[in-house]
Amino acid sequence: MTDHSINGLLSEWGRYVCRQNDMGLGFPREVPFSKERVSGSRSTETYIEHTDPEILMVDKIVHKMLPATHKVVILVHYIGKGPLKVRIGQMGMTNRRYYEHLRHSQQVIASLLESMRESAHEMRTTAA
């Protein structure tokens, strides 16, 4: 998996997590204003949506399989609030160290995801 594709998948996962967490606003999902956009137009998205199985695998990896040191940088980068420069500063890292750590965390996730894909493929093959 390329760095570009794992970054895209993690970005999609970040959007999924934000939707699942009601964008961090704490409002119930069914109140009228919860589906409004900043522009005032209504969202056509539903909260009961089909989720890509890979996004669910990434969610499982991040929350249950990823070492804590990698989990923190992934959470900060993909679902953190505020400017990235501020978030990096709050982590007490230099920009260079942060991006090295992020790249390594992405590689760990890509490796775990590939293992999960292979396991799922083997299970489908043996079941057939």
Number of structural domains in the chain:
1
Phi, psi angle pair for 36, to nearest 5°: -85, 145
Q: Which domain holds residue 67?
A: 3-127
Q: Rounded CA gap, 118 and 125, in Å?
A: 10
Q: Mean of the pLDDT values across residues 5-31?
A: 76
Least confident of 4-8, 10-14, 47-51, 97-101: 47-51
Inter-residue contact 46 to 1 (CB < 8 Å):
no
Output the average pLDDT for the chain: 81
Q: Mean of the pLDDT values across residues 97-123?
A: 92
Inter-residue contact 113 to 52 (CB < 8 Å):
no
